[in-house]
Amino acid sequence: MNRPATPLHAPLPELAPRAIPAAFMQALQARFGSQCATAQIVREQHGRDESAYAAMPPPDAVVFAESTQDVSDALQLAHQHAVPVIAFGAGSSLEGHLLAVQGGISLDVSRMNQVLSVNADDLTVTVQAGVTRKQLNEAVKSTGLFFPIDPGADATLGGMCATRASGTNAVRYGTMRENVLALQVVMADGSVVRTGSRAKKSSAGYDLTRLMVGSEGTLGIITEVTVKLYPLPEAVSAAICSFPSIEAAVRTVIQTIQLGVPIARVELIDANSVRMVNRYAKLGLREEPLLLMEFHGSPTGVQEQAQTVQDIARELGGNDFEWASTPEERTRLWTARHNALFAAIASRPGCKAISTDTCVPISRLADCLLDSVAEADASGIPYFLVGHVGDGNFHFGYLIDPDSTDERARAEQLNQSLVQRAIQMQGTCSGEHGVGLHKMGFLLEEAGAPALAVMRAIKQALDPHNILNPGKIFSL
Amino acid sequence: MNRPATPLHAPLPELAPRAIPAAFMQALQARFGSQCATAQIVREQHGRDESAYAAMPPPDAVVFAESTQDVSDALQLAHQHAVPVIAFGAGSSLEGHLLAVQGGISLDVSRMNQVLSVNADDLTVTVQAGVTRKQLNEAVKSTGLFFPIDPGADATLGGMCATRASGTNAVRYGTMRENVLALQVVMADGSVVRTGSRAKKSSAGYDLTRLMVGSEGTLGIITEVTVKLYPLPEAVSAAICSFPSIEAAVRTVIQTIQLGVPIARVELIDANSVRMVNRYAKLGLREEPLLLMEFHGSPTGVQEQAQTVQDIARELGGNDFEWASTPEERTRLWTARHNALFAAIASRPGCKAISTDTCVPISRLADCLLDSVAEADASGIPYFLVGHVGDGNFHFGYLIDPDSTDERARAEQLNQSLVQRAIQMQGTCSGEHGVGLHKMGFLLEEAGAPALAVMRAIKQALDPHNILNPGKIFSL
């Protein structure tokens, strides 16, 4: 880490939009007919996401793929004409992944929403990339199994693969990295590749599955996804514990993890966030920092886990656990947690949220987080703080007036300071949202130039015309 | 899977040894002095492994690296002169990884055996690539943590990364794929890359860590490894359960996994293997198919798990569990399991073992395994069968007279038939040993030509002179 300090946060890359050849548009429309939209409103819907970036010119067209063949045909054309292609699922990126920085087409896979095969006896399911996490869980409900990965949004499985998503259950069940068994991917030239198998483990060749997971649409477009499922736990208990300080809450989490308690979910919600979700969802929670926890296991196992954590919490000044006694009450709490972003945005009408996403080794969590809280408090920028703290991952959302250059700059300065702190602690700039546009400078700082050179070499080998989501993750 | 049937098992590739330029050897010796050995016996030790391949000409020299700089310098020279480099750790490959099919140098990292940092508070440890799994566990013993991945041999961490190894604990703790956080890797041109961080999860760029894990020395040479550690479980119980048939044993495992019992280890040992380990280690086990199991958790949790599995076993005709009551007794049993290969080889003096390594979705385990047992029985080739059956992974070891072309051909025919069956069941030809030389034909059948083309493109981009373990995994 002795590299000279560089400006960490990259603004929008200064890439000229590419000329879209008329022959390409003609061929595209001939092939896709009404599946190809050029209406302004459709293009605009596909040229933005949940990030705080200001609007920029949208993609030149939107193709609604209905099959792998559609994706392959669109990519063959784009490859031939060197036209950018940006895969689109639910549009819930927080990092600018969907912005058409060089124009081109948005390839919307949301119509590819078939659950292809539920293999309950093997605890696996295969779906098309446009299936969302909620739809997936609905589809497997009757089997007694569930899919745990739950980013805030009801994202598509394809998008969740592409950003290596995780969420509140990752502390126990892992992230997309650990839970994807196999993929079908269309490569830049339109060739269709299957990666992995339904075997639980494999040493057969390069791990193309995990190369594609987290590649943010820059190496291929994911069309089918096979993931692991888990038996619904015999017993589930959810509890809230409020604390006199963020520090007490965080130290409770650190000790819980270090003891190896197999807690299923442990989310930090700061007092700001509690106020916001209280107002948004009429929850009436005590407006103090709190942990929202869930325990999975046998009835005795759940009791043992909860007792251990309650003991730790009490020693650190935490209050008695308040239990969510019914499944409905549990769902209400977790929905509130998932809606924290929307509650925050609603708290300052017209604002946008600049979200941070650092993740650090658990022993450094308190240091990293508390210093950043102090900086955020001092800045005067309204913010909320939530986190998958069991993994060492947390999110500040700085609520800025998007028209205020000053607020944006101050928020980005807070973000930059936090990221530098996390990297110094051997952590990462992104726990689960991906790099997109927003963290390109951070990635260079974190990974270093030699690792970036390897990533570039792979990108150039697999996408020689740089058509797949160009201008994202790193510059070429 | 509608590709035409092709001969699955590739014999040794017919690659001409490359000419080693005199200038290269001079430069190598000038740089490495006594760290560079050319004595016949040292070269021969480095040109073979635990596979059944007949001896072939050894590498032209062996370099004993003592630092990352050594590895980098050796690779820079090799890159410049297009000389093959084969990384060497403990020499325990079962698939021909270490054979110098094109000559070149063996780069032995076994002297790079420092434990660099134990971060007990984060449940991570960083070691040099030549540290073995037993050495690692010794080094962290006092922290109350352990590293669960345990291939049969006392392999090096570098080698375990390179083959994406697993072992008996994988059913609960995952494989190297899930347990490596970060690597230091020297690329073909000598550049040193750090992949990953110590954060538990990350979405920061391409997953170079997992691209390197399982790349079998063909994309880079691993010099440092950061892995996860786990708290030693509060309670551990080990039990043996013998069964009237392999089928009953296997069906017990299938139900256990489908119920989601978090069993820590569940190994199948067939009656042949029991006989062999009895003789080798004087164990006195009942010579019937058996499951060797271990349960980790709280005392109550362990009891609950064991009770569930005992109930399932009984219903399928299994005997009462016999408990290993002391840690010493447990160690004796697991050592016997780990020595099954050596026990088997000792049972037929002068023989070599051709090992299979298929892994299938758990619901297909009985079908895959039982058909293969019937074929093996009919063949007359002596064999043993052990397996990490909780993962759907098992190993036949066909004990052949290495001088008998006929026995070798019949054993390979059994292997081929098993692999085809596994692939038809959406499984894999390799659960944990890697492809090496032995499964190159199988990989093509399993992954398909488009996926192989992606692997080749990556290889060519990162190793343009094809110096890193050439002729392994796939042909160029």
Chain B residues within 8 A of A434 when measuring between CB atoms: 203
Q: Is A224 on the interface with B (CB under 8 A)?
A: no
A36 with A97, same domain: the answer is yes
Contact B215 A231 (CB under 8 A): no
Query: Distance between CA B240 and CA B377 in Å, rounded?
Result: 25
End-of-domain residue from the set A45, A75, A110? A110
User: Rg of the Cα trace of chain B?
Assistant: 22
Q: What is the CATH number of the domain that holds B225?
A: 3.30.465.10
In a domain, B430, yes or no: no
Task: For residue B280, give both structure tokens.
Answer: 């080798």
Q: What is the CATH number of the domain that holds A87?
A: 3.30.43.10
Contact B258 A454 (CB under 8 A): no
End-of-domain residue from the set B231, B260, B287? B231
The residue among A1, A195, A200 with the most chain B CBs within 10 A of its CB, best to mutate, is: A200
Query: Distance between CA A238 and CA A222 in Å, rounded?
Result: 35
In a domain, A220, yes or no: yes
Q: Is A179 on the interface with B (CB under 8 A)?
A: no
Q: Is A189 on the interface with B (CB under 8 A)?
A: no
B311 with B337, same domain: the answer is yes
In a domain, A26, yes or no: yes
Contact B469, B87 (CB under 8 A): yes
Query: Distance between CA B156 and CA B136 in Å, rounded?
Result: 9
A95 with A143, same domain: the answer is no
Q: What is the CATH number of the domain that holds B372?
A: 3.40.462.10
Contact B206 A194 (CB under 8 A): no
B213 with B351, same domain: the answer is no
The alpha carbon of residue A283 is apart from the nearest alpha carbon of chain B, in Å, by 31
Which chain A residue has its CA at the smallest distance from B431's CA? A202
B101 with B121, same domain: the answer is no
Phi, psi of B228 (to 5 degrees): -75, 145
In a domain, B311, yes or no: yes
Query: Distance between CA B38 and CA B405 in Å, rounded?
Result: 32
B176 with B71, same domain: the answer is no
How far from the centroid of its chain's Cα atoms is residue A94's Cα?
A: 8
Query: Helix, strand, or coil here: B189?
Result: coil
State the distance between the two ends of chain B, measured CA to CA, in whole angstroms.
23
In a domain, B419, yes or no: yes
In a domain, B446, yes or no: no
Contact A86, A98 (CB under 8 A): yes
Contact B206 A455 (CB under 8 A): yes
The alpha carbon of residue B429 is apart from the nearest alpha carbon of chain A, in Å, by 7
A with B: how many residue pairs have Cβ under 8 Å apart? Answer: 282
Query: Distance between CA A463 and CA B255 in Å, rounded?
Result: 45
Task: For residue B196, give both structure tokens.
Answer: 């990953």
Contacts of A466 by beta carbon, 8 Å cutoff, 6+ apart: A82, A84, A459, A460, A476
A221 with A133, same domain: the answer is yes
Task: For residue A171, give both structure tokens.
Answer: 């502390």
In a domain, A165, yes or no: yes
B106 with B164, same domain: the answer is no
ipTM: 0.96
B296 with B405, same domain: the answer is yes
End-of-domain residue from the set B231, B252, B276? B231
Burial of B215 (0-12, 13-18, 19+ CB in 10 A): buried
In a domain, A200, yes or no: yes
Q: What is the CATH number of the domain that holds A246?
A: 3.30.70.2190
Query: Distance between CA A362 and CA A250 in Å, rounded?
Result: 10
Q: Tokens 């997971």 label which residue?
A: A213
Contact B393 A199 (CB under 8 A): yes
Query: Distance between CA B297 and CA A111 in Å, rounded?
Result: 44
Contact A197 B363 (CB under 8 A): no
Number of domains making up chain A:
3
Pairing of strands A85-88, A105-108: parallel
B278 with B347, same domain: the answer is yes
Pairing of strands A265-269, A383-388: antiparallel
How would you write the pLDDT of chain B (476 residues) with one tens digit per residue? 333 333 344 455 567 889 999 999 999 999 999 999 999 999 999 999 999 998 899 999 999 999 999 999 999 999 999 999 999 999 999 999 999 999 999 999 999 999 999 999 999 999 999 999 999 999 999 999 999 999 989 999 999 999 999 999 999 999 999 999 999 999 999 999 999 999 999 999 999 999 999 999 999 999 999 999 999 999 999 999 999 999 999 999 999 999 999 999 999 999 999 999 999 988 889 999 999 999 999 999 999 999 999 999 999 999 999 998 788 889 888 888 888 999 999 999 999 999 999 999 999 999 999 999 999 999 999 999 999 999 999 999 999 999 999 999 999 999 999 999 999 999 999 999 999 999 999 999 999 999 999 999 999 999 999 999 999 999 98
Which domain covers residue B90, as residue numbers? 22-110
Q: Which of residues 59-98 of A touch B (CB under 8 A)?
A: none
B381 with B290, same domain: the answer is yes
**If you count DSSP H runs as helices and E runs as strands, how many of each does chain A have, helices first?**
17, 18
Q: Smallest Cα–Cα separation from A347: which of A271, A431, A416?
A: A271
B144 with B93, same domain: the answer is no
CA distances from A342 to A350, A434, B312 (A): 12, 20, 48
